[in-house]
Amino acid sequence: MKSKRGQGLPMNTIVIAAIVLIVLVVLIMIFTGNMGGWTKNVDEAQQSFEDSCLNKGGRLVKEENLPDNPSLIPASDDNPEGGLFCLK
């Protein structure tokens, strides 16, 4: 007796279609000039993090240069680079 299978799309087709859609959206953003606004916002958020740290008397340190048991200052929630920390 033959087993009955559903008439759905294979999972591979759905995954490939999702990847193609993401690439298409990124290409549209690049060619319409919308990527410039996004990168500007990231730069502004990074500057805000640096200013917040320095205004609280801290100094910026990269993650690989952190000492053991660092005393961190909560500068702000925006740290787009992800690798910077504000030390006392």
The H-or-E segment that residue 17 falls in is helix 11-32
Q: Which is higher by pLDDT, 60 or 14?
A: 14
pLDDT digits (tens, 9 = 90+) for 36-72: 666 666 667 677 777 777 787 777 777 777 777 767 6
- CA pair distance 48, 36, nearest whole angstrom: 18
The DSSP annotation for 29-51 comes to HHHHTHHHHHHHHHHHHHHHHHH
* CA atoms of 10 and 39, how far apart (whole Å): 37
* Backbone phi and psi for residue 61, each to the nearest 5 degrees, phi listed first: -135, 135
Total-model pTM: 0.40
